[in-house]
Amino acid sequence: MKRTVAILFAPLLLIACAPERPSLTPSPLQVTDVLGREVTLTALPQRIVVAGKATFMTVDALYLFPEGPQRLAAVGATAQGADFLPIVDPDAASKATLGAEAGPEQIAAARPDLVILKSYLREKLGAPIEALGIPVFYVSLETPEQYFTELRALGQLLGNPARAEEVITFYRERVERVQGRVADIPDDQKPRVLILQHSVKGGETAYSVPPAAWMQTRLVQMAGGRPAWLDVQGSGWTVVTLEQIAAWDPDQVYVIDYLGDPLQAIEKLRADPVAQNLKAVRSSQVFAFPKDTYSWDQPDTRWILGLQWIASHIHPDRFVDLDILQEFTTFYRTLYRLDNATIESQLRPLLKGSLP
């Protein structure tokens, strides 16, 4: 009988005496931000605030991780597109909403243990927040290369580096697939492509082009096109005239409209007497860049959809097997953990642009 008791209780004794498993999160936690700063935290942040303008780009990256919705406490408002958070986060209504111009005191009132800002806000907003004793982590998320590096940093901040690698693999596979199919095309055989942002202010229509280093330009280059506007120098979107567009006379034109319907924007362009002489207009090579809650051209998580879509239009013969609507579903199912019913009922109806 004694032997039986010893056998039954031995596992319990082993468990009781087993050494405590080491924490997977070092204490203190040190993570390097895009400015090369070592940000030190005593523990994983539980109340994260994302502030400034265009916050959706950072929040969308944060929500690639299952911990993102749990940790986000407050977010700056955005004027672009539909609101994605209620679709992906049932608890979205509990997040405090800050104005795009919210200052340090308003941000501090959300009781953050970490504030995430775009790097260009360091002097204007970041320094005053840090002066209040609140840690600030800076991101850029402006290019594919930065995406891969900074997703790893977010994985560290959220205590889930494995998820960061899963997401990076998802992106890399698709980037490599696109670039592999266009790698052998000589530069002089690549179509000359023009990216235009359409906007209306005070009843006046304006067209603008992005800087050479921005995501829109990179997407064209990665997809096997030649950007036609690289002679324009600017640090942001630069307004151009239809006469300048006519002088470029690109093979293809891709129109972006952040606040309106891009299909209506390309119809307006086609109707302009000057634009009607464009090679791209005459050959029906004017396309509306797709969008759902947000446009697929910008440094938001959806850039990988934009890359595949524009590649299939620049070189349709090399992407005949690409089903962009299937990629759309796979994107939201894999990266945002949404079921097909949610994707079909809440996201697909928002789709606009030159799509099947």
Counting the structural domains of the chain, the total is 2
Output the tens digit of pLDDT for each of the chain's 356 residues: 333 333 232 333 233 333 333 445 456 899 999 999 999 999 999 999 999 988 999 999 999 999 999 999 999 987 676 689 999 999 999 999 998 789 999 999 999 999 999 999 999 999 999 999 999 999 999 999 999 999 999 999 999 999 999 999 999 999 999 999 999 999 999 999 999 999 998 889 999 999 999 999 999 999 999 999 999 988 999 999 999 999 999 999 999 999 999 999 999 999 999 999 999 999 999 999 999 999 999 999 999 999 999 999 999 999 999 999 999 999 999 999 999 999 999 999 999 999 99
Q: Is residue 53 part of a domain?
A: yes
Q: Is residue 127 part of a domain?
A: yes
Same domain, 62 and 124: yes
Same domain, 254 and 203: yes
Same domain, 208 and 71: no
Q: Is residue 218 part of a domain?
A: yes
Query: CATH no. for residue 52?
Result: 3.40.50.1980
Same domain, 148 and 199: no
Q: Is residue 13 part of a domain?
A: no
Q: What is the pLDDT of residue 82?
A: 67
Angle at 157 between CA 161 and CA 38, to 5 degrees: 110
Same domain, 54 and 200: no
Q: What is the pLDDT of residue 48?
A: 98
Q: What is the pLDDT of residue 251?
A: 98
Same domain, 245 and 322: yes
| Domain region containing 301 | 190-350
Q: Is residue 330 part of a domain?
A: yes
Same domain, 133 and 194: no
Q: Which residues contact 297 (CB under 8 A, 6 or more apart)?
A: 195, 215, 216, 219, 254, 256, 289, 303, 306
User: Distance (Å, rounded) from C-alpha 253 to C-alpha 283?
Assistant: 11
Same domain, 203 and 307: yes
Q: Order of strands across the sheet with 114-118?
A: 96-98, 72-76, 48-50, 114-118, 136-139
Task: Specify the pairing of strand 29-32 against strand 286-288.
Answer: unpaired
Q: Is residue 93 part of a domain?
A: yes
Same domain, 34 and 144: yes
Q: Is residue 8 part of a domain?
A: no
Taking alpha carbons only, the member of 223, 226, 217 closest to residue 188 is: 226
